Amino acid sequence: MCYTNFNDIIHSIINMDADVITIENSKSNQKLLSVFREGVKYGAGIGPGVDDIHSPKIPSTEEIAYRINKMLSVLETDILWVNPDCDLKTRKYTEVKPALSNMVAVAKLLRTQLANAK
């Protein structure tokens, strides 16, 4: 879901019984995750975008790790899906490939760290 009042419709989303939802997140500076800080429980998967794909800037692994860790302060590890924000089709391959490579590298690293912490 891009650019929606996610917090206003969260209960309708929960009632949809979707397995996973994806939401715009990076441009809103994670504002859309505030509903989870307020105690709403969502048991299905959620993929808040970790990268503003509308920008040609390739995010560093540090930037992506920071964003994912912010998400993990609100979401349970078992429901978080790591993905970019929408509209990959608007970027050139030379921009998309390194951005996705960084995202995958960070996801793998954090999964290993989380598994070792258990």
- Residues catalogued as catalytic: 54
**Chain position carrying tokens 């930037």:** 63
Nearest to 103 by CA among 59, 54, 55, 69: 59
3-state secondary structure of 22: strand
Q: What's the rounded Cα separation, in Å, for the pair 38 and 48?
A: 17
Query: In the numeric block, which tokens belong to residue 81?
Result: 């899906």
Q: What's the rounded Cα separation, in Å, for the pair 19 and 48?
A: 14
